[in-house]
Structure 1
């Protein structure tokens, strides 16, 4: 698991604004996007970034400056957690890489087996309709 000197937590309103914020924060400072969580159908979004203490502080400050320019101040909370404990990072960091005991091995440890269903699409032939005889021939 990668160790970060600091993590930044940004809580914003609206999913589309959160995407804009992630883009600008990651471009402005050298931080890694770690995860995000949506609440209330995307009306409240938590973004977590990680990196060195100075980079995370710069990212949080960039988020505050961006939100000051917005009309309704969509940033609800922005904070930096320095030297986060390993137990906290277990909940934040996705462990999806197979080499580091990713999701598949974690599922196997809990006794859950991953099953893949592959559906084969059948060729459907068009429905054939009977041709009607003209009225003059029916009588």
Structure 2
């Protein structure tokens, strides 16, 4: 993953809500959908990367989408200028590592 100026994340309960959030996020701003993490309890986090303003716009749009559906928004955050060591964590949740490659 290229190094970005910011990371944006939303965590909600359930696939439908996280898909709505992710869709709103990538439509609202010029961000890369990096990946997701699904816990056994049903909480799912989605991660985007880009410049700080884009990540903030994306997260704001994702939060609004979940709230508009009356979903359970657990948390959201934008991390500006992430420390390079954070990529050791986020690399594990990249879409290309989580999903099988289709030829």
- Structure 1 unpaired stretches of 5+: 97-102, 104-139
- Structure 2 unpaired stretches of 5+: 98-103
Q: CA RMSD in A?
A: 1.9
1:1-139 → structure 2 map (5 Å cutoff): 1-40=1-40, 43-71=42-70, 73-93=71-91
**TM-score, normalised on structure 1?**
0.61
Q: Structure 1: which 4+ aligned runs deviate by more than 2 Å?
A: none
Count of matched residue positions in the alignment of Structure 1 and Structure 2: 94
Instruction: Compare relative contact order (CA 8 Å, sep 6+) and give the higher one, 1 or 2.
Output: 2
Confirm or deny: 8 A CA contact 2:37 2:44 kept in the other structure: yes
| Structure with greater proportional strand content | 2
**TM-score, normalised on structure 2?**
0.81
Give the equivalent residue in structure 1 for 2:101: none
Confirm or deny: 8 A CA contact 2:11 2:46 kept in the other structure: yes
Which has more radius of gyration? 1
